[in-house]
Amino acid sequence: MNISKIIQGLRYNYPKSNHFNDTFFNMKGYIVEKILDGTIPENIAKNLEKGENAQVQAAFNFIDKQLIKGREKIDLSFETEKAINGDSEEFLSSILINEDASDIKISFKKPLKADVYQYFGRGSSTEIKGMDITPSTEFSIRRKFNSYWEEGFGIAFRSENFWLALKAEASGEGIKGMAMLKVIVYSDSSYIVDDAAKYFDVTPLIKGLSV
C-alpha cells in the first residue's frame, strides 16, 4: 500500500459525505489516519491509489456509515422546536460574538476541553488537539482581509461527551447566496442538526455571506 499515492488521490478528488463533510474534521486527513490504524479495510485503501473519484467516494461512504451507525438522526433545522439540550446546549448558548475592524470572533463563557477544528472554505482548514477553552479564549471565525472571507466557514469542538459544530450553509429558501448557521451535535446516541438562530443571535456571523 502506497500512502503517498493515496494522499495524492485524495487531494485531487472532491466527493461528499452525507453527515461529516468538513464538519468535525478534515475528512481526507481522517481517512489517512484510519488507513494507518487499520480501521479502513485494505481493499478500500488500496483502491485509493487509483486516484479516481469513485474510489475516494467509497472511502467517504465507509467512514460516514461507521460514524453514524447506531445513532438516531434528528434534523429540526426548519422547525420551531429546539433539538439540542444538556451540556452541548449549555456550551452553545454561552457563546459571545465580538466584531472589530478586521475580525469576527467568538468565545464561550462555559469552559470546555476539546479538539478544535476550523474550516475556512475552499478546502482550507486547521486543527488544534486537546485545547482548554476558557472564557478568555477567542476564535477568529471570519477575517475580513482573508481571501474568500465572504464564503462559508465552520468551527467544531470534539469533547469527551459530545461533538458540536457550527457551519454556515445555504439557507434552503431557494434564494441564491442566502446563508443560515447550522449547529450539529454528535454523541454516542444521536446525530442532531438544528438552526443555531434558536440559541443565539447569529446575524453578526452570517451577514454578508454568499454560500
The tens digit of pLDDT for each residue in 176-188 reads: 556 899 999 999 9
Q: What is the mean pLDDT of the chain?
A: 90
The confidence band for 21, taking pLDDT boundaries of 50, 70 and 90, is confident
pLDDT at 121 over 80: no
Identify the pLDDT of residue 175.
Answer: 52
Q: Does 202 reside within a domain?
A: yes
Assigned C-alpha cell, 175? 434564494
18: in domain: yes
Residue 52 resides in a domain: yes
In a domain, 191, yes or no: yes
Please check whether residue 211 lies inside any domain of the structure. no
Q: Give CA–CA dist 120/173, Å, rounded.
A: 23
Residue 13 placed within a domain? yes
CA distance linking residue 45 with residue 36, whole number of Å: 10
Domain coverage including residue 47 = 3-68
Among the candidates 25, 43, 68, a domain finishes at 68
Whether 64 and 84 map to the same domain: the answer is no
| DSSP per position, 147-172 | TTTTS--EEEEE-SS-EEEEEEEE-S
135 — pLDDT class (breaks 50, 70, 90): very high
Do 123 and 191 lie in one domain? The reply is yes
Q: Looking at the structure, do residues 200 and 137 belong to the same domain, yes or no?
A: yes
Asked if residue 86 has pLDDT above 90, the reply is yes
Among 50, 68, 86, the domain-final residue is 68
Please give the residue that has the higher pLDDT: either 204 or 122: 204
Q: Please state the separation of Cα 150 from the chain's center in Å.
A: 18
Count of domains in the chain?
Answer: 2
pLDDT band at 191 (very low <50, low <70, confident <90, very high): very high
Same domain, 132 and 59: no
The mean per-residue pLDDT over the stretch 123-151 comes to 86
In a domain, 43, yes or no: yes
Q: Is residue 63 located within the same domain as residue 77?
A: no
- If asked whether residues 95 and 144 sit together in one domain, one would say yes
My answer on whether 142 and 183 are in the same domain is yes
Q: Do 63 and 136 lie in a common domain?
A: no
Question: Of 33, 79, 88, 99, whose CA–CA distance to 195 is shortest?
Answer: 79
Residues 155 and 62 in one domain: no
Residues 56 and 81 in one domain: no
pLDDT of the residue at 211: 66
Q: Which of 42, 68, 94 is the last residue of a domain?
A: 68
Q: Is 44 among the domain residues?
A: yes
Mean pLDDT, to the nearest integer, of 79-94? 96
**Within the chain, where are the H helices?**
3-11, 27-36, 42-47, 53-68, 86-93, 203-206
pLDDT at position 170:
73
Q: Is the pLDDT higher at 170 or at 97?
A: 97
Based on the fold, state whether residues 115 and 23 are members of the same structural domain. Answer: no
The model's confidence at residue 136, banded by pLDDT at 50, 70 and 90, is very high
Do 83 and 187 lie in one domain? The reply is yes
Whether 165 shows a pLDDT value over 90: the answer reads yes
